[in-house]
């Protein structure tokens, strides 16, 4: 049985005999959308339970995503040329990578991950690009101009950002901004310049074309509203309403310790830190991305949070000194690769009584729990599906120092 989009504001779905995205099977995005959602959730729970088996744990709760479609608040689309060239057109593709093929771009005509307005935006940008004559970037030959289109949406805040990333060179900014505005309600539009060879949507510099260059997202937690300024380089959990569930789990577990001090490792823009700040006298975040630390500091000020401090640096480098603060709780939400071995060693040597470990990669979860096992006992595990219709899943594990 397949899943059929109803097109509701919250992006819910009903079972139905049809409704697969036209790109299903070729696109590298929603690889399991042909499986009924309850079964998707069950498969993910089984995978996480397998990862936890060595710790003697099972998932106590598997939380579904609050939104099953149109749940993502950020997507990166790529440009590519058409090879072999077609005299009748099109002259370029704009979309996502086909499954397992990094050199190609699938010309996306439909997508149910970001918002219903996404296809109209992509179509408008394609027309503008063709009319402008600006060539798409070829990631193999490293020639061309148009590289990526990054779109961010504040699911609770309502604002939207469109960020075009190009190679260096002259750029018709006003026609591009006008094109976006006609097709898509963007609060701010930006142009980034990436002169690097690597095929990433990370610009060297950013120019604001319209708006403030930022959007505001809102997290709702136990009657509180936290406002987060999202800049082009900000890290924010991809599924806003799913993140509210995840942060709620962390709050419930952290509150058990009645903590005076909490440490947020790999803190990004301060999501966990600011969500937990009202539970303690002091919360400290550490993050290697200096721009993200600046966002976290501004987010703390914007929300009137005066007991939060944020430091820029590698977690494994700063952690030994931070642990001298005699913490009661630490939250670790590392990148997909998991904890750095030196960070795991520091936690074993002097970590707090309670450690909340958040993982988006069951394989890294297995390795890191084993690395922490000599001194930390895994007590509880809950799963939050931040990525419906994909194989990815987020797992939170409560560990207590033995």
pLDDT digits 0-9 by tens, 54-71: 888 999 999 999 999 999
Dump pLDDT digits (tens) for 301-342: 999 999 999 999 999 999 999 999 999 999 999 999 999 999
Residue 356: name the closest of 264, 267, 270, 291 by CA: 264
| Whole-Å CA distances, 202 to 126, 159, 191, 261 | 21, 22, 12, 34
Q: Tell me, which fold does domain 44-67+236-401 have in CATH?
A: Rossmann fold (3.40.50)
Q: 92-103: buried (b, 16+ CB within 10 Å) or exposed (e) per residue?
A: bbbbbbbeeeee
Which residues have CB under 8 Å from 203's CB, separation 6+?
Answer: 165, 192, 193, 194, 232
- What proportion of the chain, given as a percentage, has pLDDT over 70? 96
* 357: pLDDT strictly greater than 80: yes
Question: Hey, where are the domains in the chain?
Answer: 44-67+236-401, 74-216
* 144: pLDDT strictly greater than 50: yes
Whole-number pLDDT of residue 387 = 96
Residue 335 token pair: 């990148």
Whole-number pLDDT of residue 356 = 98
Are 20 and 111 contacting, i.e. CB atoms less than 8 angstroms apart? no
Residue 139: name the closest of 189, 192, 201 by CA: 201
Confidence of residue 13 (pLDDT cuts 50, 70, 90): very low
For residue 23, give the DSSP letter: T
**For the domain bounded by 74-216, which CATH number is listed?**
2.40.50.1070
Whole-number pLDDT of residue 365 = 94
* 183: pLDDT strictly greater than 70: yes
Q: For the whole model, what pTM was predicted?
A: 0.91
Whole-number pLDDT of residue 16 = 32
* 11: pLDDT strictly greater than 50: no
* 37: pLDDT strictly greater than 60: yes
Active site residues: 360
């Amino acid at each position: 049985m397949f899943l059929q989009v109803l097109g509701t504001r919250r992006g819910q779905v009903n079972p139905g005999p049809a409704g697969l995205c036209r790109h299903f099977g070729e696109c590298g995005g929603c690889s399991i959308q042909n499986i009924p959602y309850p079964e998707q959730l069950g498969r993910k729970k089984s995978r996480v339970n397998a990862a936890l088996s060595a710790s003697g744990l099972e998932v106590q709760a598997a939380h579904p995503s609050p939104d099953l479609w149109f749940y993502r608040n950020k997507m990166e689309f790529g440009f590519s040329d058409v090879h072999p060239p077609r005299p009748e057109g099109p002259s370029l593709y704009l979309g996502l990578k086909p499954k397992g093929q990094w050199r190609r771009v699938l010309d996306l005509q439909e997508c149910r991950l970001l918002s219903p307005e996404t296809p109209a935006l992509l179509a408008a940008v394609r027309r503008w690009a063709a009319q402008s004559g600006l060539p798409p970037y070829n990631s193999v030959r490293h020639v061309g101009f148009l590289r990526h289109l990054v779109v961010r949406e504040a699911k609770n805040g309502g604002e939207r950002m469109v960020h075009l990333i190009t190679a260096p060179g002259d750029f018709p900014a006003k026609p591009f901004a006008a094109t976006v505005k006609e097709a898509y309600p963007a609060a701010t539009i930006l142009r980034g310049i990436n002169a690097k060879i690597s095929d990433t949507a990370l610009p060297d510099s950013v120019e604001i074309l319209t708006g403030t260059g930022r959007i505001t997202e809102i997290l709702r937690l136990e009657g509180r509203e936290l406002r987060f300024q999202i800049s082009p380089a900000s890290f924010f959990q991809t599924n806003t309403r799913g993140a509210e569930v995840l942060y709620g789990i962390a709050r419930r577990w952290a509150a058990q310790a009645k903590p005076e001090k909490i440490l947020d490792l790999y803190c990004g823009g301060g999501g966990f830190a600011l969500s937990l700040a009202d539970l303690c006298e002091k919360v400290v975040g550490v993050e290697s991305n200096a721009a993200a630390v600046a966002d976290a500091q501004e987010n703390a000020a914007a929300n009137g949070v005066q007991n939060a401090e944020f430091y820029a640096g590698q977690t494994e480098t700063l952690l030994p000194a931070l642990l001298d603060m005699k913490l009661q709780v630490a939250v670790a939400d590392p990148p997909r690769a998991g904890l750095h071995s030196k960070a795991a060693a520091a936690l074993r040597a002097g970590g707090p009584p309670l450690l909340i470990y958040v993982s988006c990669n069951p394989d890294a979860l297995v390795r890191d729990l084993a690395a922490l096992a000599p001194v930390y006992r895994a007590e509880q595990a809950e799963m939050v599906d931040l990525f419906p219709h994909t194989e990815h899943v987020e797992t939170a594990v409560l560990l207590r120092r033995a």
